[in-house]
Amino acid sequence: MEITIDIDDPDPLFAQLMAQIKQAVIAGELKPGDALPSIRQLANDLELNNKTVAKAYRLLERDSVIQAKGYRGTFIHPEARANSTVDLNAWVLTKLRETIEAFRETGVTDSEIRIAFGNIMNNHKN
């Protein structure tokens, strides 16, 4: 199965990689247990930085689409098909929209929401 990325595409490279692997899982081109190339191999073949591919693999592992098995390599997760349809970004957007709407209904201003959001994110980082 071949993967294609476009470096001029506005979508980040790691997101293109993730989307194509998920699409391949949904289409049945990648099946549970199938081995994936190593981070270095894929990065070299696509002429990308190792960190870009590592980020895509890390997020796919978080979404339970792939699973790393130490030195044996990276494989497609047994539940990959079901998990590939879950879009965490869309879920985050929906949840945030609902929360922001609730704040606005109680009279909180947009600037107060921004400051509070920034503070929480900054504290979380620290």
Task: Decide: is 39 part of the binding site for other proteins (CB under 8 A).
Answer: no
Minimum Å gap between C-beta 35 and other proteins is 5
Minimum Å gap between C-beta 58 and other proteins is 17
Structure-token pair, residue 39? 């981070």
Q: Are 38 and 46 in contact (CB under 8 A)?
A: no
Identify which range of 34-42, 63-71, 89-97, 108-116 contacts other proteins by CB under 8 A.
34-42
Q: Are 18 and 59 in contact (CB under 8 A)?
A: yes
Residue 26: half-sphere exposure toward Cβ, Cα within 13 Å: 11
Return phi, psi of residue 67, to 5°. -140, 135
Task: Decide: is 45 part of the binding site for other proteins (CB under 8 A).
Answer: yes
Looking at residues 56 to 115 of the shown chain, list those that interact with other proteins (rule: CB under 8 A): 73
Nearer to other proteins, 46 or 100 (CB): 46
Q: Are 49 and 43 in contact (CB under 8 A)?
A: yes
Interface positions with other proteins (CB under 8 A): 1-9, 21, 24, 30, 35-38, 40-42, 44-48, 73
